[in-house]
Amino acid sequence: MSKRSILTATVLLVACGAAILSAQPAGKEPGSRPVKGPWADGEGPPPVVLSPQQEAEFLGVLETKRPDEFAQLKKLKEESPRAYRWALAAAWRAYQVIKDMPPEIQKAHEDQLHARVESWRVSRELLAAKDPAAKDKLHARLTELLGIEFDAEQNLRDYRLNQLEEQLKRLRADLKDRADRRTAVVEQNLQDLLSGKLLRPKGDGDGRRPPEGRSPEGRPRPSPAASRPVE
Domain extent listing, the chain: 1-99, 101-200
Contact by Cβ (8 Å): 113, 98: no
Instruction: Return the DSSP state at 40.
Output: -
Q: Report the pLDDT value the prediction gives residue 62, as an integer from 0 to 100.
A: 78
Over residues 78-97, the pLDDT tens digits come to: 888 888 888 887 777 776 77
Q: Report the pLDDT value the prediction gives residue 9, as an integer from 0 to 100.
A: 46
Q: What angle do CA 50, 56, 58 make, to 5 degrees?
A: 75
Average pLDDT over residues 201-219: 53
Contacts of 3 (CB under 8 A, 6+ apart): none
Handedness of CA 221, 223, 229, 231 (dihedral sign): negative
Is the pLDDT score of 15 beyond 90? no
- What span, in angstroms and rounded, lies between the C-alpha atoms of 21 and 101? 9
Q: What type of residue sits at position 14?
A: V
Residue 214's pLDDT band, with cuts at 50, 70 and 90, is low
Over residues 103-153, the pLDDT tens digits come to: 899 889 889 988 998 999 999 999 999 999 999 999 999 999 999 999 999
Over residues 50-75, the pLDDT tens digits come to: 788 888 877 887 788 778 878 888 88
Contact by Cβ (8 Å): 78, 89: no
Q: Report the pLDDT value the prediction gives residue 12, as an integer from 0 to 100.
A: 53
* Secondary structure tally for the chain: helices H, strands E: 8, 2
Instruction: Return the DSSP state at 231.
Output: -
Contact by Cβ (8 Å): 106, 97: no
Q: Report the pLDDT value the prediction gives residue 37, as an integer from 0 to 100.
A: 40
Q: Report the pLDDT value the prediction gives residue 120, as an integer from 0 to 100.
A: 94
Over residues 169-209, the pLDDT tens digits come to: 999 999 999 999 999 999 998 998 888 877 765 545 555 55
Contact by Cβ (8 Å): 15, 114: yes
Q: Report the pLDDT value the prediction gives residue 160, as an integer from 0 to 100.
A: 93
